[in-house]
Amino acid sequence: MEPLSDGIYTALLTPFTEEGAIDEALFVRLLAFQEAAGVRGVVVAGTTGEGPSLSVSERVALYELASRTRGQLRIIAGILTCSLPDALSLARSAADVGCDALMVAPPFYYRATREGLIAFYRALLDATALPVILYNIPQLTRQPITAELVDALLSFPNLLGIKDSSGDPESLATYLPFVPRLKVWVGEEKLLLRCLQGGGAGSISGLANVFPERLVATFRAFCEGREADGLQQLIDKAADALDAFPAPANFKYALTLRGLPLSHVRPPLHDLSELEQRDLQKAVQPHL
């Protein structure tokens, strides 16, 4: 299997009906929308995809659906669970249905020790042949992916890289020295150009659900040696407009402004109110 290439990957939404069921038909449309925009691939059932709100069987069903209807997209299975047995089961299922890689967050309920986190990741890396991306999002997991943890896992050949969603430039700076042994993607789109300039791979992006073309254009401009600062500024403005509203409901409503049907979030998250929808439309319309 060819390794994942540098580029823009979308942390794909999981669309729900008003009753809370997964809207499979709309999920397939979202995949096609992303492929047409030129992203390299998608993460299924990650944070933006409300992965922790999905059952194990629902996540596997989405992995399979994405793999079957992907077109040219690479499929990364999001694994966000506190249960090591569930993580191993999801990894096996992702391989069985044809996913290309795993993105694995640290378990997020207990305050694990360094040794406990190493044991968790070593067990998973031992159990799968798929490439693994470590997922740093400490504002949600309370468990940062430290440089020491990465060092302890470097002997695993299937350790592919890191997604840093901390939003902290200093955190990004601690990961970039691992390039080229590891690929480094940012989740904070405002750091895309900084990541690329430091040798990073690009972005695994929630914003790309709505503005994939903008991120792809910035990545391509950088790779071709063209001026990309202005394109990064457009990303920043679009991010500011959407970040004023709760995610991922903001992305789901914003997609209606791009001609796609409205999908819902699953409790404990909630959809935007009518007032929030009107305010979001005013904020985002200039960027469409």
Q: What is the CATH number of the domain that holds 215?
A: 3.20.20.70
On the question of pLDDT at 259 being above 90, the answer is: yes
Contacts 24+ apart (CB under 8 A), 166-174: 166/136, 166/137, 166/138, 166/139, 167/139, 167/191, 169/194, 171/136, 171/144, 172/198, 172/200, 173/198, 174/146, 174/147
Which of 48, 121, 163, 252 is an active site residue? 163
Identify the pLDDT of residue 1: 59
Cα distance between residue 260 and residue 37, in whole Å:
14
Given a cut of 80, is residue 2 above it in pLDDT? no
Average pLDDT over residues 218-245: 98
Cβ pair 42, 34 in contact under 8 A: yes
Task: Show the beta-strand stretches assigned E in the chain.
Answer: 7-11, 41-44, 74-79, 101-104, 132-136, 159-164, 183-186, 202-205
Q: In this structure, is residue 263 part of a structural domain?
A: no
Spot the catalytic one: 9, 10, 14, 47. Answer: 47
Specify if 198 maps to a domain: yes
* 110 counts as catalytic: no
Candidates 9, 63, 121, 135; catalytic one: 135
List the domain range (segments joined by +) for residue 166: 7-226
Asked if the structure places residue 259 within a domain, the reply is no
Q: Is 253 in the active site?
A: no
Q: Is residue 266 part of a domain?
A: no
**Is 279 part of any domain?**
no
Please confirm, yes or no, whether 109 is among the known catalytic residues: yes
From 17, 109, 110, 282, the catalytic residue: 109
- pLDDT tens digit string along 18-68? 999 999 999 999 999 999 999 999 999 999 999 999 999 999 999 999 999
Q: What is the pLDDT of residue 3?
A: 80
Nearest by Cα to 207 from 48, 23, 38, 94: 48
pLDDT tens for 145-169 read 999 999 999 999 999 999 999 999 9
Q: Considering the chain, what percentage of its residues have pLDDT values greater than 70?
A: 100
Q: Please tell me the predicted confidence (pLDDT) of residue 38.
A: 98
Which tens digit of pLDDT belongs to each residue from 185-194?
999 999 999 9
Please indicate whether residue 10 is annotated as part of the active site. Answer: no
Q: Is residue 247 part of a domain?
A: no
Kindly state whether residue 99 falls inside one of the protein's structural domains: yes
Q: Looking at residue 31, what is its pLDDT?
A: 98
Domain assignment present for 135: yes
Q: How many domains does the chain have?
A: 1
**Average pLDDT, rounded, for the chain:** 97
